[in-house]
C-alpha cells in the first residue's frame, strides 16, 4: 500500500523547500512506494530536481514569513500588510484543503514551519508533524516593539504551532523547547564526485572553487562579479545570478536559479562558501565539511544562533555587510581558503526524520 503524505512548506526562500525535499528523498530511499502532496509556492522544480520521490505539486501560499527589501533587509510594514491578507486562515480554504488531503489518502500532514498545514491536519482528522529550527511567532517577537500590528499574528501562529501532534526541532535550533526531540542538521546529499562537477564547470585544475550564495533570494550581483576578477587562482560560482543559462565571465560562473548542476554537488566540489547565513546553506555546508564565510544579518533573530553554530561546529568567519557590498571582504579570502575542511560521520537529520515517518505512518491511518 502506498504511503501518502501531505507536505506544507513555507515559501520563504528556497531553503525550506530544499529541506523538505531532503526528507522526501530519504523517505523514498527507504520506501519507494510513497507519494507526497506538496503545498507551497517554493518553485516546483526545487522538488523535482531534489528528489526521486513521486509527488503532486499544489501552488499555494502557505504562509508569509518576512517581506524583505533585499536578502539582508526586512520590510516590516509590507510584512504586516501581507499578513493581514492571509491570516487568520480562511475557514473555507481549510475545509477545501482538508478534503484534498483526505481524498488523496494522506496518512499525515508534514509541515516545514508552515502553520497552515497544522490547521488542515486538524480539520482532516490527521496527525501532523511540525519540523522547524524556528517558528514565525518567535521570529516576529522582537519586531513587535517597532511594529505592534505584528502582535495578533504572532499570537495566532503561536496557538497554531501548539496544536502539532508531533514536533521536531532541527539543529541548530533557534528556540529550544523542553521535551521536544532534536535531530541533526538536515540537508540534501550530493550525487556526483567533486572531479565530475569541476570538469562539467571547466574549473582549472589549479584553481580553488568558492560558492557565493544568497540562499535563493534575488540579489544584485553585477558589482560583486566585477570585484571577483581580481582574485587570482580562484574560480567563483554564483547560483541564481544568471537569467540566461550558464554564463562565464573570466573566473566567475553565473548559474540560473534552476541549473543542471545539483546544488549540493557544487558544495561537494567547492573549497569554501561565502554568503547569506540561512538554514539550508548552513546545513549543506556543514555536511560538505567546508568553511563558511557568512555575511552579517543585523536584525534577523536567527542569525546569532546560526553564527554561533558555525563558530562551534564548523570553520568560518563573519563578513560585515558593508565589506561584502564593497568587495573589501576579498582581502580575507586567503584566510577563508586556509580554513580546514571537516570529514563528517554523523547522521543527516533527513534520515532521522524518514525513520520516524516510516515507523509512525506506514500502517494505514485509523
Q: How far is CA 310 from the centre of its chain?
A: 16
The pLDDT of 274-297, averaged and rounded, is 94
Q: Does 26 lie in the same domain as 172? A: yes
In-domain check, residue 343:
no
Q: Does 241 lie in the same domain as 182? A: no
Q: Does 255 lie in the same domain as 356? A: no
In-domain check, residue 366:
no
| φ, ψ for residue 54, nearest 5 deg | -70, 140
Instruction: Look up the pTM and report it.
Output: 0.93
Q: Does 98 lie in the same domain as 24? A: yes
In the block, cell 549543506 appears at 284
Contact assessment for residue 1 and residue 364, using Cβ atoms and an 8 Å cutoff: yes
Label the pairing between strands 73-74 and 208-213.
unpaired
Q: Does 182 lie in the same domain as 294? A: no
Contact assessment for residue 351 and residue 344, using Cβ atoms and an 8 Å cutoff: no
In-domain check, residue 21:
yes
Q: Does 18 lie in the same domain as 38? A: yes
Residue 315 and residue 317: Cα distance in Å, rounded?
A: 7
The pLDDT of 292-302, averaged and rounded, is 89
Structure confidence at residue 246 (pLDDT): 86
The pLDDT of 115-128, averaged and rounded, is 98
Structure confidence at residue 276 (pLDDT): 87
Domain total in the chain: 2
- Segments forming the whole domain that contains residue 205: 194-338
3-state secondary structure at position 10: coil
In-domain check, residue 110:
yes
Nearest to 266 by CA among 246, 296, 295, 244: 246
CATH of the domain at 107: 3.40.50.2000
Condensed to tens digits (0 to 9), the pLDDT of residues 158-167 reads 999 999 999 9
Nearest to 327 by CA among 210, 218, 228: 228
Residue 346's pLDDT band, with cuts at 50, 70 and 90, is very high
Label the pairing between strands 316-319 and 272-276.
unpaired
Structure confidence at residue 219 (pLDDT): 54
Q: Report the percentage of the chain scoring pLDDT > 70.
A: 96
- Who wins on pLDDT, 57 or 73? 57
Which helix (H) or strand (E) covers residue 68, if one does? strand 68-70
Please give the mean pLDDT across all residues of the chain.
92
Residue 220's pLDDT band, with cuts at 50, 70 and 90, is low
Residue 10 and residue 129: Cα distance in Å, rounded?
A: 14
Q: Does 143 lie in the same domain as 17? A: yes
How distant, in Å, are the alpha carbons of 123, 133, 187, 283, 307 from that of 303? 35, 12, 19, 14, 6
pLDDT at 17 over 50: yes
In the block, cell 562539467 appears at 200
Amino acid at each position: 500500500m502506498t504511503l501518502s503524505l501531505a507536505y506544507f512548506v513555507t515559501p520563504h526562500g528556497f531553503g525550506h523547500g530544499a529541506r523538505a525535499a531532503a526528507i522526501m528523498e530519504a523517505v523514498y530511499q527507504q520506501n519507494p512506494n510513497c507519494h507526497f502532496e506538496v503545498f507551497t509556492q517554493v518553485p516546483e522544480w526545487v522538488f523535482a530536481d531534489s528528489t526521486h520521490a513521486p509527488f503532486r505539486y499544489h501552488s499555494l501560499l502557505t504562509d508569509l514569513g518576512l517581506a524583505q527589501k533585499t536578502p539582508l533587509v526586512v520590510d516590516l510594514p509590507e510584512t504586516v500588510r501581507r499578513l493581514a491578507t492571509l491570516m487568520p486562515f480562511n475557514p473555507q480554504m481549510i475545509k477545501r484543503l482538508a478534503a484534498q488531503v483526505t481524498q488523496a489518502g494522506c496518512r499525515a500532514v508534514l509541515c516545514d514551519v508552515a502553520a497552515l498545514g497544522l490547521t488542515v491536519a486538524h480539520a482532516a482528522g490527521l496527525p501532523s508533524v511540525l519540523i522547524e529550527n524556528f517558528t514565525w511567532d518567535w521570529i516576529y517577537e522582537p519586531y513587535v516593539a517597532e511594529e505592534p500590528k505584528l502582535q495578533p499574528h504572532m499570537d495566532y501562529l503561536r496557538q497554531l504551532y501548539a496544536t502539532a501532534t508531533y514536533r521536531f526541532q532541527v539543529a541548530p535550533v533557534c528556540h529550544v523547547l523542553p521535551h521536544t526531540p532534536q535531530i541533526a542538521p538536515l540537508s540534501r546529499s550530493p550525487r556526483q564526485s567533486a572531479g565530475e562537477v569541476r570538469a562539467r564547470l571547466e574549473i582549472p585544475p589549479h584553481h580553488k572553487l568558492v560558492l557565493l550564495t544568497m540562499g535563493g533570494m534575488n540579489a544584485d550581483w553585477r558589482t560583486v562579479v566585477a570585484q571577483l576578477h581580481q582574485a587570482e587562482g580562484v574560480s567563483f560560482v554564483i547560483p541564481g545570478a544568471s537569467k540566461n543559462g550558464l554564463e562565464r565571465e573570466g573566473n566567475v560562473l553565473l548559474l540560473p536559479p534552476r541549473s543542471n548542476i545539483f546544488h549540493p554537488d557544487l558544495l561537494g566540489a567547492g573549497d569554501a562558501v561565502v554568503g547569506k547565513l540561512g538554514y539550508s546553506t548552513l546545513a549543506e555546508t556543514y555536511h560538505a565539511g567546508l568553511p563558511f564565510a557568512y555575511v552579517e544579518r543585523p536584525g534577523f533573530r536567527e542569525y546569532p544562533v546560526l553564527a554561533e553554530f558555525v563558530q562551534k561546529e564548523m570553520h568560518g568567519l563573519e563578513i560585515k555587510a558593508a565589506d561584502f557590498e564593497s568587495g573589501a571582504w576579498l582581502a580575507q579570502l586567503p584566510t577563508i581558503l586556509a580554513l580546514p575542511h571537516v570529514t563528517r560521520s554523523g547522521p543527516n537529520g533527513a534520515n532521522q526524520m524518514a525513520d520516524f515517518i516510516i515507523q509512525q505512518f506506514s500502517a494505514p491511518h485509523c
